[in-house]
Amino acid sequence: MTHVNAPTAGVALTAIGVALIRERESRRPDRLYDDPIATAFVDAARRDFTRTEEGAAKWERVEAVAEQFFAGRSVGVRLVDERVTEAVAAGCRQIVLLGAGLDTRAFRLGLPADLTVYELDLPELFAFKEPVLRAAGAIPTARRHVLPIDLRTDWAVPLQEQGFRPDEPTHWIDEGALPYLPPEDHRRAVATLTALSAPGSRFGLSRFAVDPEAPPYVELRRLVAGDDAGMPPLDAGRPGEQWLVEHGWRTRFRAWDDLIVALGRDVAVNDPKVGVVLAERV
């Protein structure tokens, strides 16, 4: 396989960690989903990292962090899969992944051929992802468009230039990329997707209570931003459920512990305020 450069720093590094999680879940006999392409990403990234002693040490750190986040994050992947299936059944024929990372839903969910998946992420992420997909012979079941773009910039015009139609219902997916943006950019991104959402479009906001000083989050922050990284920005000014309501979304809240009941995994948080705000454009 041709050598490709895996992202080794910045927020794109989190995509490697999530691929590790998906690869591990896919090996379980009681797996919640099957993602064979995740193995190709993990193998390519491991080869790239371990070319140097420094890289090998960092790879061990990435694996250790992925292990600490595995239980909850893997369940989260399954829950997003379920929301995609629901959105498709409801008539959404556009899916936009904001901070797509190494997502493979266009390949593994059996999405219909008349549906279009738009993946937005940093150029360095796709510089790694696309060669791995080609080498693996991966073929999407739906139409797929890749937009190498920084979500802090104006992505509405490039998205429409790729064929996106704001008059058609869209399912928007954010699995944690937007909170990495500064609050004003996070708010602008949600305002942009709101302006592009026809009635029937869907979006979700996670509502989680985490201790940013807990060791797993400290190590994740150091891997992404460097070992001298300080505290992340506070949530003040970020869009929440009230913002969505005020801007034309109908919302309902689903508690995490209720969402996971049928999955049989021990990841309950015992906090009724933790969960997901599910929103539909009216």
Residue 27 belongs to a domain: no
Average per-residue pLDDT for the chain: 93
Question: In this structure, what DSSP letter does residue 262 have?
Answer: G
Express each pLDDT in 218-250 by its tens digit: 888 888 877 665 555 555 678 999 999 999 999
**Residue 245 maps to a domain:** yes
Q: Report the C-alpha gap between 124 and 7 in whole angstroms.
A: 7
Q: Mean pLDDT over residues 150-158, rounded?
A: 97
Residue 25 lies in a domain: no
Range(s) of the domain holding residue 120: 74-281
Task: Classify residue 183: in a domain, yes or no.
Answer: yes
**What is the pTM assigned to this prediction?**
0.94
Whichever domain contains 223, its CATH number is: 3.40.50.150
Per-residue pLDDT reduced to its tens digit, 87-145: 999 999 999 999 999 999 999 999 999 999 999 999 999 999 999 999 999 999 999 99
C-alpha torsion 47→176→156→282, nearest 10: 140
Q: Is 18 a domain residue?
A: no
Q: Which one-letter amino acid corresponds to residue 171?
A: H
pLDDT digits (tens, 9 = 90+) for 41-82: 999 999 999 999 999 999 999 999 999 999 999 999 999 999
Domain assignment of residue 50, yes or no: no
User: Which H or E run includes 256?
Assistant: helix 256-259
Measured between alpha carbons, how far is 139 from 95 in angstroms, rounded to an integer?
17
Q: Could you give the CA distance from residue 92 to residue 84 in angstroms, rounded to a whole number? A: 9
In a domain, 170, yes or no: yes
Overall number of domains in the chain: 1
